[in-house]
Amino acid sequence: MDDPVLLTGAGGRVGGAILDGLADEYDWRLLYHSQPATEPDAEFLVGDVTDAELMAEACEGVGAVIHLAGDPRPDAPWDSVLANNIDGTKVLYDAAVEAGVERFVFASSNHAVGHYETDRKPDLYRADDDFRLDGTELPRPGNFYGVSKAAGETLGRFYHDEHGIKVCNVRIGNLTEGHPPVDYERGQAMWLSHRDCAHLHARTLEADYEYEIVYGISDNDRKYYSIERAKAVLGYEPMDNSADFDGRERVADGN
Amino acid sequence: MDDPVLLTGAGGRVGGAILDGLADEYDWRLLYHSQPATEPDAEFLVGDVTDAELMAEACEGVGAVIHLAGDPRPDAPWDSVLANNIDGTKVLYDAAVEAGVERFVFASSNHAVGHYETDRKPDLYRADDDFRLDGTELPRPGNFYGVSKAAGETLGRFYHDEHGIKVCNVRIGNLTEGHPPVDYERGQAMWLSHRDCAHLHARTLEADYEYEIVYGISDNDRKYYSIERAKAVLGYEPMDNSADFDGRERVADGN
């Protein structure tokens, strides 16, 4: 990807992981929801994804969009995710298509399928359990935030089918820095390390695809999300595994 | 279903077909968007599904909801389907769950999967083509109306998983009165006769299920929607087939 890449939600946790790993790899245009505390080392805008005029400006000359912006709270109220996550994603797709953007990477979420865990807990969090979700299943959101992410995936399907824009939805797991969540099996099962997060998003910008739904987790021994599709289509090669950590320490360093 | 049944969108085309066939079978409570021209032969309310207070009143003492209300235009603009179809459906689910309603039947649409037809036209409209959608596939909306219907299905999945309310989504085909669409292969392939529409909805009120997505079409020779799930789970026994009609006339009467 030689053209500029628009990163929305640049001030959030996922945005931070992506920029940590890929700051120098792409010509970034960053969208912040509010003025960043320190001056970003790239072109940036401040505002809301529901602002159509600002999104038109943000998408001008851009080759790809990584869309992370929105209300990130799993317990966000409906009215907020309806406006910020569902409507906001639609506004940004319109702007991207109008500007001729080639690909659109959408931060979906494990919460879009949270209710698959019901009745299977805690077995599916264990390394010896072979239940897997692979992205072909219908959504089963665990909250309104998850409903909004599923709707964002469907919007992407529509914009891809209607306008040809390449779309990759990444159902992001549990992103933490340095080490997996401690004493939290679910978080360990869906752990995504910072470097795997950055690498995965680089692959969404480089690989050849049309419309995809992939899971964004590290190569954890515990897992109930398949990463086979991300490996096969995107060339994702995760380096981390929550099983390599004993509490906060890495106990085996196979990498 | 002995308790009253709330029918939203009672003044629309699908509502008319249901009431034509089932007026005397259930204790109806009807929701109209505007004052009906003639006095309905049942208890009724007038207003908008986005009106939470009115929906609370509408759901009081109700055993089931058949939710047809919303902007029915395939080319409806985004802002209208976002408010009327997506937000409105959420408001009604809230009211239904709060009132302890047992089951919720949602009028989804062929438009939720319209883009599966792309690249397959017109072969899939032909009787000798065996491509079938069966309700397990991810949505591929053909327009924003379809996006809103897919979102309504996902909302239903959430309310079912979270609150236990039984949910049946009916992806309604092409409902016409008297005879199938003339010179319109697609419409003949997804034709739903009035009496099959009424019978199918009766089955959604009587059958035992948890969460379903079924296709609402007659037993047409031309078809690319499977009706096997509706038959198996709901006991749907369609009486009509668009192939029995030559233009406007029924040419074979096997029924």
Q: What pLDDT digit, counting tens, does each position of B2-34 carry? A: 999 999 999 999 999 999 999 999 999 999 999
Per-residue pLDDT, A252: 62
B157 touches chain A (CB under 8 A): yes
Q: What is the ipTM of this complex?
A: 0.96
Q: How far is CA A228 from CA A116, A125, A126, A232, in A?
A: 19, 18, 19, 6
CB within 8 Å: B157 and A139: yes
Q: A74 contacts in B (CB within 8 Å)?
A: none
Among the partner residues B78, B87, B157, nearest to A140 by beta-carbon distance: B157
Catalytic residue among A26, A32, A93, A145: A145
Distance from C-alpha of B71 to C-alpha of B79, rounded to nearest angstrom: 10
User: Using one digit for the tens of pLDDT, what is the confidence trace for A160-198?
Assistant: 999 999 999 999 999 999 999 999 999 999 999 999 999
- Measured distance CA(A123)–CA(B239) in Å, rounded: 46
- Alpha carbon B118 to chain centroid, angstroms: 23
B196 SS3 class: helix
Identify the CA nearest to A82 among candidates B162, B38, B237, B86.
Answer: B86
Which pLDDT tens digit goes with each residue over A200-212? 999 999 999 999 9
Shortest Cα distance, chain B CAs vs residue A13, angstroms = 26
CA atoms within 13 A on the CB side of A20: 16
* B134 at interface of A, judged by CB pairs closer than 8 A: no
Distance from chain centroid for Cα A241: 18
pLDDT for the residue numbered B224: 97
Tokens of B205: 């009120």
Residue A8: DSSP 8-state:
E
Interface of A with B in 80-99 (CB under 8 A): 82, 86-87, 90
**Chain-centroid distance, C-alpha B18:** 10
A192-240 pLDDT, tens digit per residue, is 999 999 999 999 999 999 999 999 999 999 999 999 999 999 999 999 9
Higher pLDDT, A1 or B53: B53
Instruction: Round to whole Å and give the CA distance between B121 and B115.
Output: 10
Q: Which of B118, B147, B213 sits opposite A155 (nearest CB)?
A: B147
Angle between helices A194-206 and A13-22 (to 10 degrees): 70
B145 labelled as ligand-binding? yes
pLDDT tens, residue by residue, B110-126: 999 999 999 899 999 99
HEC string of A154-165 equals HHHHHHHHHHCC
Is A144 at the interface with chain B, CB within 8 A?
yes
Q: Would you say residue B253 has pLDDT above 70?
A: no
Contact residues on chain B for A154, CB-CB shorter than 8 A: 138-139, 141, 147, 150-151, 154
- The reply to whether residue A158 touches residue B78, judged by beta carbons under 8 angstroms, is no
Q: Between chains, do A154 and B139 touch, taking CB under 8 Å as contact?
A: yes
Closest listed residue to residue B165, CA positions, set B234, B92, B86? B92
Is the pLDDT score of B77 beyond 70? yes
As a whole number, the mean pLDDT across chain A is 96
In one letter, which amino acid is B153? E
Can you give the pLDDT at residue B255? 43
Residues B213-225, mean pLDDT to the nearest whole number: 97
Count of C-beta atoms within a 10 Å radius of residue A157: 22
Query: For B168-197, what is the mean pLDDT?
Result: 96
Would you call B145 a catalytic residue per the annotation?
yes
Q: What is the mean pLDDT of residues A5-22?
A: 97
Q: Is pLDDT of B252 > 90? A: no
* Residue A7 Rama label (left phi>0; alpha psi -120 to 50; beta): beta
Has A145 been labeled as part of a binding site? yes
Nearest Cβ partner of A161 from B115, B154, B158? Answer: B115
Long-range own/partner contacts, residues A74-80 (CB < 8 A, 24 or more apart) = A74/A111, A74/A142, A74/A143, A74/A145, A74/A146, A75/A143, A75/A145, A76/A143, A76/A144, A76/A145, A76/A148, A77/A144, A78/A144, A78/B90
pLDDT band at residue B108, thresholds of 50, 70 and 90?
A: very high
Structural domains for chain B: 5-250 (3.40.50.720)
B13 near A CB under 8 A:
no
Q: Is A116 annotated as a binding residue?
A: no
Rounded CA-CA distance A25/B101 in Å is 54
Has residue B145 got a pLDDT over 90? yes
Tokens coding A160: 């891809």
Does the structure show a pLDDT above 70 at A255? no
Q: Answer for the pair A144, A152: CB distance below 8 angstroms, yes or no.
A: no
Distances from the Cα of B161 to the Cαs of A98, A156, A213, B68, in angstroms? 38, 25, 22, 22
pLDDT of residue A1: 87
Contact A93, A56 (CB under 8 A): no
**What DSSP line would sit under B120-174, residue for residue?**
TTTGGGSTT----B-S-SPP--SSHHHHHHHHHHHHHHHHHHHH--EEEEEEE-E
Q: What is the mean pLDDT of chain B?
A: 96
In this prediction, residue B254 carries a pLDDT of 47
The answer on pLDDT for A250 being more than 90 is: no
Asked if B66 is an interface residue toward chain A (Cβ–Cβ < 8 A), one would say no
Structure tokens at A175: 């992103």
Q: Average pLDDT, stretch A7-23?
A: 97
- Amino acid at position A103, single letter: R
Task: Yes or no: say if B120 and B86 are a contact pair by the CB < 8 Å rule.
Answer: no
Question: What are the percentages of helix, strand and coil residues in chain B, rounded to 5?
Answer: 40, 20, 45
pLDDT at B94 over 90: yes
> Nearest-5° angle of CA B219, CA B138, CA B161?
95
